[in-house]
Amino acid sequence: MTGVNFQFTRGKRNKANRTRSPATERVLTQLKMISQRRKQPKLLQVCQEDHIRHETITTAFKLYRQEINANRAKLLLKQYESIKYAMEDLEQINSYLFHEANTNQKGKRFDLEMRIPTEYPPNQIWLHDYTPAEVAEKK
């Protein structure tokens, strides 16, 4: 039997005198991290009053978010309609500009510098020696 690790022990093999290779230990640690054993959070014990208070808070927040989203959808609809009417007018006024405005925007990219806003400014606030990528390439 080749390739089998034998543990030679004094007396019966048990948890106390077992030895594990570092590789086995590493894999076991990984398995422990993956398993959910003893990692479940404790169930919050809420009395009846606190349960209703919690429900009130979460319901209010849910309805508030729904209202915000509904208002946002209304604004988007307004924007869409204003674009539509503007394009209808432009079609009548100037057909060249209309076709330019109606071209497919494939290849359009948002600026990379337009990063997702953060609470605090970046470590380097202003890049004094900034050159855009296209200009740098030409040089």
Partner 1 sequence: MSAIIRRYSTVVTKADLWADFSKRSASLGLKDAQLKEALLKGVAATDGPVSITDKAAKMRYASTPGMQPLFETAHTYLQQRAQRTYAAIERIERQISETTDAQVKANLLAQKNKMAVSAEQHNPEVKYTAEYLPENLDMSQAAFRHYAEQKWNNYGKMLLMERLETMSVIPDTMPTLNPEVDVTMEFPCSGASAVVPGAFLHSSTTMKPPTFTIQEFKETDNQLYTILIVNPDTPNVETNGFNTTLHWGLTNVLVSNTDIKVDFSKMCDAFGNNKHEICPYLPPVPEKNLPYQRFAVWVFRQEAAVAVKSARLNNPDFDIREFAQTHGLTAVGAHMWRSKWDRSVSAVREFYNLPKGRIFHPHRL
Partner 2 sequence: MVQPIHHTVKINKRLLSPNYPELKLAKHDIRNTAFKPAHTSQDRLQDHYTATLESDLLLINYTHNQQRQEGLKTREWDGSSPYHINRPVRPPRGRLVQTKDIKPRTWKNVPQLELIAINCFVKEAKAQSHLVIAAHLQLQQITNSKVQRVFTKSNVPQWGIRKGMPIGAKAEIFGADAHTFVTTLNELVLPRIRNFQGITNKSGDRSGNITFGLTPEDVKLFPELENNAEQWAKTFGIHITFRTTAQTDAEARILLSGLGFPFYGEEKN
- Residues near partner 2, by CB under 8 A: 26-27, 29-31, 33-34, 43-44, 46, 51, 54-55, 58, 61, 72-73, 75-77, 79-80, 83-84, 87-88, 91, 98, 102, 104-110, 112, 114-118
- The answer to whether the CB of 51 falls within 8 A of the CB of 40 is no
Residue labelled with tokens 């494939």: 106
Type and span of the H or E element at 19: none
* CA gap 115, 120 in Å, rounded: 13
The nearer residue to partner 1, 49 or 134, going by C-beta atoms, is 49
Q: Which does 85 bind (CB under 5 to 8 A by kind): partner 1, partner 2, none?
A: none
Provide the total of helices (H) and of strands (E) in the chain, helices listed first: 4, 0
Minimum distance, C-beta of residue 67 to partner 1, in the bound complex (Å): 8
List interacting residues with partner 1 (CB under 8 A).
44-57, 59-61, 63-64, 67-68, 71
The nearer residue to partner 1, 26 or 74, going by C-beta atoms, is 74
Minimum distance, C-beta of residue 12 to partner 2, in the bound complex (Å): 27
* CA gap 60, 52 in Å, rounded: 12
Minimum distance, C-beta of residue 78 to partner 1, in the bound complex (Å): 14
- The answer to whether the CB of 29 falls within 8 A of the CB of 20 is no
Kindly give, in sequence order, each residue whose CB lies less than 8 Å from that of residue 101, ignoring residues fewer than 6 positions away: 87, 90
The nearer residue to partner 1, 28 or 52, going by C-beta atoms, is 52
